[in-house]
Each structure stands twice: as C-alpha cells, then as structure tokens.
Structure 1
Amino acid sequence: MTDISAPFSNGLLAQLTEMGGPVMVVLLVIAVLGVVTFIYLMLLGTLYAPRLPGSLKKTVISWQQNPGSVSPAAIREQAGRWGRLNPLLHLVTNTFEALNSQQDERQIRETAARDAQQSLEPFEAPLKIIEVIAALAPLLGLLGTVLGMMEAFSAMAATEGRANATQLSGGIYEALTTTAAGLVVAIPFAALAAWVEFRLRRIHKTINSTLVSILNVTVDPDAKAQADARQAVATRECASTQPGADLSYDSASDRRFAHATG
C-alpha cells in the first residue's frame, strides 16, 4: 500500500537538506511550531482574554454613581455563557462582593492584583515561544552559514586550492540559503511577538484602570443594607406574582424590611 505522506515528507526534507543542509529542516520545524503557537494564542485570546464590553463598562459607571444599585449575582446571570468566559467579569464581580462585605481594603487590592496577574498568565507561555523562535531563527541561519562555508573551504582544501567554481558553489549556496531562511522565519515572528506584547499591555492597562475605578469608590454600609433590602423585596414581589405563589402576608418579614430601610 502506498504511503500518501511519503512523497511529501521524503521529497520536502530532501529538497530542504539539499538547499541548506540539516539546519533548513530545523528552521522548518520551528516555523511550523511558531505558526501553531500563534493560532493557539489567537484562539485563546478570542475566548479567554480579559475584555471590557459596553455592558460591563456601564456596570462600573453605575458602581461609581451608586454602589448599592449593583448586584454581582445579577451581573453574572445577565452576562450569559459567552460573557462568563471573560476573566475581567469575574474579577469585577469578585471585587464588588469583597467591597460590599467590608473586607480589608489592603487584602482586596492584593487579591485583585493576584487575580489580574493570573488572568494574563495563559498568554505568557505562547508569547515566550514566539519570542524564542524570533531570536533563535537568525542564529540557526548563522549556523547554517558557518557550516556551508566550512563545506566550501573543505572542498577547496581537498583539491589543494585548485577547486573550481562548481565545487565551491554548493557550500556558498548552502551558506546563503540558511541565512536567508533564518531571516525569513525571524522577521515575521519578531513582529508578531511585538504585536502580542502590545496587546497584552493594553489589556493589562484596561484591567488596572477598571479596578482603580472600582476600588476608589467608598461603600456606605447603611446604603448597602438598604439596597439589599430593596432587592430582597423586589425578589419577593416577583416571586409572589408567579402562578401558584404563596400570597400570604408575612408581617415579621415586612417589619424587618421596614426597619432595614428606615
């Protein structure tokens, strides 16, 4: 039975080895690895990159104007499945809950900083791989150049300095080819690494500005208690309108709500 991949693997590897020696094969491997890593990074960024959509921005503005009107649980429910993949959403809602529970401000800031750093950690390894490829490819091209020149001088030494152009051309061609291939691989990956790093800096800046906007708001415990009471009353009224709901009057509960709201 004929192997379909045999002509591709044997022919391609043979051509690359003939063009630039074994260094060309290594350059091809790291180029494929870089492309796969970049595709993975783009998919990861599309699904799990922290982002600040319009709805979340409006929530932060509402928090700045009236912290008691913001419900973290309602924000999570309204976000939907796609929105809950956003790490910034969880970072914002967790900070809301920590502030509402009157936790230590220093602890809240440390927790927010740690969570923000963790949200960017999945992007660090792919970025590092791309940066290493961009730095390694020219060195591999230089290695191929040295090997090609060594082959050319070896042919010259074998003929005691009487080597013709045909004998020298193989080593020189290999030297020039690997140098060009190394630059061809390095230049686009260096540009991609710079672009990804720029995007990560923009995301980090967005996270910082969002958290600063939230943490600079002072939560009034009395206002928070009133907001919780209003939300509980609204939930109870909504439940009472459902079919089959218990419409009996709970005087003790109503007195507690009335006392909470003043």
Structure 2
Amino acid sequence: MSDSPQLAVAQSPLASLIDMGGPVMYVLIALAVLGLLTFFYLIITGTLFSPRSGGRVRRDVAQWEQAERTTIPDRPTGFFARCNPMHGLARRAMSGVTRGEPADMLRENLAQGAQKALQPFEAPLKIIEVIAALAPLLGLLGTVMGMMEAFSAMATTEGRASASQLSGGIYEALTTTAAGLVIAIPFAAIAAWCEFRLRRLNSQMNERLLGILNSAPAKTMANAARGTARTNDSARQDTYQPARVAHAAG
C-alpha cells in the first residue's frame, strides 16, 4: 500500500486525465492538438499570404492614377510584398482598365482571383469549426459511457452498490463533459474571429479593386462598353459600375 501514493505522484498529468475521463479523452486530446496546429498554420498563412491592401498597394494605385492610368508600376521586390496576392489583383485591375477590357469580363476575372486568394484560409477555418462542434458531442458521449458504467456497477451488485463503486463512472462522465466544453469554447471563439477576419479581408479587397475600376476615365469606359459584342442598350450597362468583386467566405 505504501507504493500507491508514489505511483500516483509519478503519474503524468496527461495519464491522470486519461484515467479520469476514459477512452473518450484520447479523441478529445487529439482534437485539441489538431485544432492548435490548425490555428498556428492559419496564423502563419495569414501573416504571409493574406490579401492586404497595405501602403505599397495604395502607393502603386496612386502612382498609376498620377500617370493618367497609362503606366503600371513595377512588380514589388520584397518577400512579404511578393507573398501578398493583393498586389497581383491590383495590377490585374490596373492593366485591364488601361487596356480598356470589357467591364463584365474584368470584374469576373478579378472575382475569381479574389476567391482564389481566400481559398487557403477556408479549409483551416472549416477544421476549427468542426472541432468546436464535435468536442461537446464527444464530451456527451463520454458522459453516457460513464453513466453506463455506473449503472452497470449498480446492476452487478443488485442495487446495493456503494458510493465508491458509483463514483468512478460518474467522475468519468463529468470529466469528459468538462473536457469537451473546455475544448469547444475557445475554438468556437477562434472560428468566429477567423471568419470575421476573412470577411474583413474580403471587404478590403472589394473596396480596393472597385476603387481601381471606378477610377477609369469616361473614354476608357466607353471603349470597354464598345468592346462587348452586345446591343446598344446592353452596351450602356457594361461601364464600370460599382459592384462587389468577390464574395465573402464562409
């Protein structure tokens, strides 16, 4: 009996948690690790490849407007600037306006490019959302399994089970429920924050790209309208009118 306290002290916190929660704790711990890795991946990817309308993009657009929309600025040379897809989208918009491309075709191309720029963030966000929804259900599963163990002990003793015999199953049930909620609550908050950031990036892309499209002079818009093989009535609708370029993710 003198060895049992020493074994309890030597037992790791992870092993103790698994002993308290039962086999469902393995799945909950795996989900927590997967969620953390996904969150760190999302942070790193967002830092490097998120479409940001930063100062360099604004300076390029201002330089293009000062040159009367005839000269497109040079490509950025910095590492972070090259990773930012907003530079490519802005250059595509400026090039289309300069060449007088049809407005609808140019908007469609920019919408596809904007959607492609947000695609790397959609899969990690979906994983975090699934973990936030799945963790409470797994905790509930552990609760059911723990209560089944408690009632099984009561049935074995024909209703004369002591409190110590019932406490193990009830403790397992409460532990898995608490673990599921502890995992689900922060990941639900992380998913909401990531979705807000994606929608904000999408809004900033729309604002910047539409600012470039709507800055086209009247002559450029007339050429773009004539470039579409449509009737006169439909051609008048092909000028650069304000419209959303990309759709919000989520």
Q: Distance in 2 between matches of 1:171 and 1:80?
A: 60
| Cα deviation 1:27-84 (Å, max 9, x = unaligned) | 0000000000000000000100010111212333444565436424x2x1x4423211
Question: Is structure 2 residue 161 aligned with structure 1 residue 163?
Answer: yes
**Matched positions, count:** 209
Q: 2:115 aligns with which of 114, 117, 126?
A: 117
Q: 2:192 aligns with which of 191, 194, 202?
A: 194
Matched to 1:71, the amino acid is I
1:30 match: 31
Task: Give % identity.
Answer: 57
Distance change >3 Å, CA 173–CA 53, structure 1 → 2: same
Q: 1:152 aligns with which of 143, 150, 153?
A: 150
Give the CA deviation at 1:90.
Answer: 0.4
Matched to 1:147, the amino acid is M
Matched to 1:202, the amino acid is R
Matched to 1:102, the amino acid is G
- Higher share of residues assigned helix: 1
2:52 match: 51
Q: Distance in 2 between matches of 1:200 and 1:182?
A: 27
- TM-score, normalization by structure 1: 0.75
In the TM superposition, 1:163-242 aligns within 5 A as 163-219=161-217, 220=219
Q: Distance in 2 between matches of 1:25 and 1:209?
A: 46
Q: Distance in 2 between matches of 1:191 and 1:56?
A: 31
* Rg larger for: 1
Matched to 1:198, the amino acid is F
Task: Please list every run of 5 or more consecutive structure 1 residues that lacks an aligned counterpart in the other structure.
Answer: 1-9, 222-262
Task: Please list every run of 5 or more consecutive structure 2 residues that lacks an aligned counterpart in the other structure.
Answer: 1-10, 221-250
2:230 match: none
Q: Distance in 2 between matches of 1:218 and 1:138?
A: 53
Q: Distance in 1 between matches of 2:134 and 2:65?
A: 49
RMSD of aligned residue pairs (Cα, Å): 1.8
Conserved in 1, the CA contact under 8 Å of 2:64 and 2:72?
no
1:80 match: 78
Conserved in 2, the CA contact under 8 Å of 1:150 and 1:171?
yes
2:248 match: none
